[in-house]
Amino acid sequence: MPSAGEAGAGAARSAMHESRPIVELHDVHQAFGDVEVLKGVSFEVAKGGVVCIIGPSGSGKSTLLRCINGLIPIKSGTIRVADFDVHTLVTDRQKIALRKEVSMVFQQYNLFPHKTALENVMMAPIHVLNEKRDEVRERAIALLTKVGLAAKRDAYPGELSGGQQQRVAIARSLAMRPEVMLFDEVTAALDPETVKEVLNTIRALAREGMTCILVTHEMRFAREIADEVLFTDGGTIVESGAPAELFDRPRKERTKAFLSQIL
Amino acid sequence: MKGERAVTASPVLPVLLPAAERMARTALRERANGAPLLRLRAAHGIALLVTFAVGCALAQSQVLPANPSILETIWKWTPLLARGFVFNLAISFVAMALGTIAGLFLGYAQISLLPPVRKAAWFATHFFRNAPWLVLLFYCMFLLPFEVTIFGVTIPIPDWTKATLGLALPVMANVSEIVRGAIQSIPTTQWEAAASLAFNRRQTMWMIILPQCIKRMLPPWMNLYAILTMATVLASIVGVNEMMTLTQRALSAENRPGLLLAFYSYVLLWFFVYCYPIARWTVRLERRYAVNQ
């Protein structure tokens, strides 16, 4: 099991905050019917750490992320996020408490099409966290400014490009002030030019010390920002390590084969 | 879906593709709607007008020299028929309102997380949707009492109230299906996004899912209203004084068989003039929402 100690920069950063990892998975199993999707996945993420999950399609990456914020229940094993034992959460109320701390950004943006960009960002803090509208509005505008879309605040999702929608989606998640951000192939549906603007946004977040878990196909990006890279295949973590190690000196044959295909 | 596959799987005759695509779209919409869509066209109105003119001409040729002309006769009866028509509209408004309110609840119950609620709602919806309207009407007419006594006060239930209730039942069931279909047509990713922003189920439903449903529900709902309006003449069979009943009375008062075609096509024209704009508007809304999706 890889630990945060092996993960260079992540370890240094986590030492400054606290020693206990903020996300901890142990021997997680998950199956859809008879199809086993996750076959014993274990890893940890230190507070402020950035972990990238790479691997071929259908290797259970997206499922893994959805398990972490309780969208999909797991068959066995344990998942802990901050003070929540995710695998024990049953009621809606418990899951909602968890999701206030863990926010997720999706491949297809999933903005609410009937609300403007600003309203998309403001909705959850107002209705879920019960914060004051004026304060939320200020924060939402600041967040939209941060992702470079202050001018588009009154536009509806349908009027925005894919990259712009994805940045609004990131701002929407950030408005909840989560402890952990999950990114599920957030650039997979974008054209190459707009990928950059989204990656810049995520890079800035990671630099600020946000704990991020990314499923991604952007290898160069993963190498640049990750503290640790996990290579998954067939529902297990085949190999993990610091990006320089994993990308330049992969130990397992499967990893070598995968990397030679895409690099 | 089947329709879409049919379109993509027939590249043999590309000339047919535009029509095939359009037909597949209609089929999809009708399947979602659960019933054939009412598509009134201007041509239907013209056909009606021609029928009316032919009817008048035929009747006119049988008019005895002493009698007033056909158009005069129709004009004489028009105020009475108009009163009947207003009654048809009143029945359609009330039945639509009652059916919509009940149908919203029933549709919501159809996607309940509690299996017994869901199953009961499903059964009620399909029972009332598949029962013939006329049978439901007869049930309401003859099973409901003509008056109820509550705390010594006797409240009469007039026939038209019972007829309205009888028509509200199938409306309820159809609205229930429209609601269920619209909610289920919203991509599950919207639910996922809402869940990961920590919205609860009720908030997700009211703030995120239902607002997106409204524009999807509006066209089939209006379509249903037009169908209901035309179905209100069923009330004549159970003796409510609406336009159809009054037309029969007018005909028997005139006692001239030649008037039949002229009078009934005249009644049809009234309904066409009322329903055609609704049908056109429905089509326009559908187009607009199809573009915006």
B193/A112 CB distance under 8 A: yes
A128/B212 CB distance under 8 A: no
Q: Which range (A135-144, B10-19, B172-181, B241-250) has the least confidence?
A: B10-19
Q: Does B197 touch chain A (CB under 8 A)?
A: yes
A128/B197 CB distance under 8 A: yes
- Collect all residues of chain B within an 8 Å Cβ-Cβ radius of residue A96: 198-200
Q: What pLDDT, on a 0 to 100 scale, did the predictor assign at position B109?
A: 94
User: A51 vs chain B: nearest CA distance in angstroms?
Assistant: 20
What is the strand order of the sheet A84-85 is part of? A35-45, A23-32, A76-81, A84-85
Q: What pLDDT, on a 0 to 100 scale, did the predictor assign at position B57?
A: 87
**How does residue B2 score in pLDDT terms, banded at 50, 70 and 90?**
very low
Q: What pLDDT, on a 0 to 100 scale, did the predictor assign at position A263?
A: 66
B212/A114 CB distance under 8 A: yes
Q: Does A259 touch chain B (CB under 8 A)?
A: no
- Looking at residues A59-77, what average pLDDT do you find? 90
Helix (H) or strand (E) holding B219: helix B210-231
**How does residue A12 score in pLDDT terms, banded at 50, 70 and 90?**
very low
**How does residue A3 score in pLDDT terms, banded at 50, 70 and 90?**
very low
Specify whether A6 is located in the same domain as A38.
yes
Domain spans, chain B:
80-287
Q: What pLDDT, on a 0 to 100 scale, did the predictor assign at position B291?
A: 57
Rounded Cα gap, residues A54 and A219, in angstroms: 8
B190/A100 CB distance under 8 A: no
Q: Which residues 189-228 in chain A show a CB within 8 A of chain B? A: none
Q: How many H helices and E strands in chain B?
A: 12, 2
Residue whose tokens read 């047919």: B16
Instruction: Indicate the residue of A92, A112, A113 with minimum beta-carbon distance to B201.
Output: A92
CATH of the domain at A34: 3.40.50.300
For chain A, the farthest-separated pair of C-alpha atoms sits apart, in whole angstroms, at 56
Q: What pLDDT, on a 0 to 100 scale, did the predictor assign at position A2?
A: 46
Specify whether A2 is located in the same domain as A81.
yes
By CA distance, what is A181's nearest residue in B? B196
Percent of chain B at pLDDT exceeding 70: 91
Distances (CA, A) of B132 to A32, A211, B137, B210, B282: 43, 61, 9, 30, 25
- Looking at residues B50-63, what average pLDDT do you find? 86
**How does residue A141 score in pLDDT terms, banded at 50, 70 and 90?**
very high
B189/A110 CB distance under 8 A: yes
Range of the domain at A73: 1-89+181-195+206-263
Specify whether A80 is located in the same domain as A111.
no
Question: Quick one: how far is CA A2 from the chain centroid?
Answer: 19
Q: What pLDDT, on a 0 to 100 scale, did the predictor assign at position B26?
A: 76
* Residue B45 token pair: 């109105």
Flag whether pLDDT at A261 surpasses 80: yes
Residue A95 lies inside a defined structural domain of this protein = no
A108/B212 CB distance under 8 A: no
- Looking at residues B57-75, what average pLDDT do you find? 82
Specify whether A107 is located in the same domain as A26.
no
Flag whether pLDDT at B19 surpasses 90: no
Q: Which range (A7-11, B143-147, B244-248) has the least confidence?
A: A7-11
Flag whether pLDDT at B5 surpasses 50: no
Q: Which residues 202-261 in chain B show a CB within 8 A of chain A? A: 203, 207-208, 211-212
**How does residue B289 score in pLDDT terms, banded at 50, 70 and 90?**
confident
Q: Does A69 touch chain B (CB under 8 A)?
A: yes
Specify whether A162 is located in the same domain as A233.
no
> Strands, E, within B143-221: which ranges?
147-150, 153-156
Specify whether A113 is located in the same domain as A75.
no
Q: What pLDDT, on a 0 to 100 scale, did the predictor assign at position B33?
A: 62
By CA distance, what is B292's nearest residue in A? A158
Task: Indicate the pTM of the whole model.
Answer: 0.77
Q: Does A123 touch chain B (CB under 8 A)?
A: yes
A159 versus B2: the higher-pLDDT residue is A159
User: B194 vs chain A: nearest CA distance in angstroms?
Assistant: 8
B190/A108 CB distance under 8 A: no
By CA distance, what is B206's nearest residue in A? A127
User: B115 vs chain A: nearest CA distance in angstroms?
Assistant: 18
Pairing of strands A236-241, A228-233: antiparallel
**How does residue B60 score in pLDDT terms, banded at 50, 70 and 90?**
confident
By CA distance, what is A113's nearest residue in B? B212
Q: What is the pLDDT of residues A78-93, one digit of tens each?
A: 999 988 999 898 888 8
Specify whether A173 is located in the same domain as A188.
no
A92/B192 CB distance under 8 A: no
Q: What pLDDT, on a 0 to 100 scale, did the predictor assign at position A45?
A: 93
Specify whether A120 is located in the same domain as A242.
no
Residue A47 lies inside a defined structural domain of this protein = yes
Q: Which residues 146-165 in chain A show a CB within 8 A of chain B? A: 158
Residue A96 lies inside a defined structural domain of this protein = no
Distances (CA, A) of A68 to A175, A183, B106, B169, B259: 20, 12, 35, 46, 77
The residue among A243, A112, A111, A106 whose CA lies nearest residue A183 is: A106
By CA distance, what is B188's nearest residue in A? A110
User: A2 vs chain B: nearest CA distance in angstroms?
Assistant: 27
Q: Does B190 touch chain A (CB under 8 A)?
A: yes
Q: Which range (A8-17, B52-61, B118-127, B187-196) has the least confidence?
A: A8-17
Q: Which range (A3-7, A16-20, B96-100) has the least confidence?
A: A3-7
User: A95 vs chain B: nearest CA distance in angstroms?
Assistant: 8
Flag whether pLDDT at A43 surpasses 50: yes
- Looking at residues B162-189, what average pLDDT do you find? 92
Residue A32 lies inside a defined structural domain of this protein = yes
Q: Which residues contact B207 (CB under 8 A, 6 or more apart)?
A: A123, A127, B199
Query: What is B80-287's CATH number?
Result: 1.10.3720.10
Q: What is the pLDDT of residues A171-211, one digit of tens each?
A: 999 999 999 999 999 888 888 888 888 898 899 999 999 99
Specify whether A1 is located in the same domain as A83.
yes
How many domains does chain A fold into?
Answer: 2
Flag whether pLDDT at B100 surpasses 90: yes
Flag whether pLDDT at A111 surpasses 90: yes
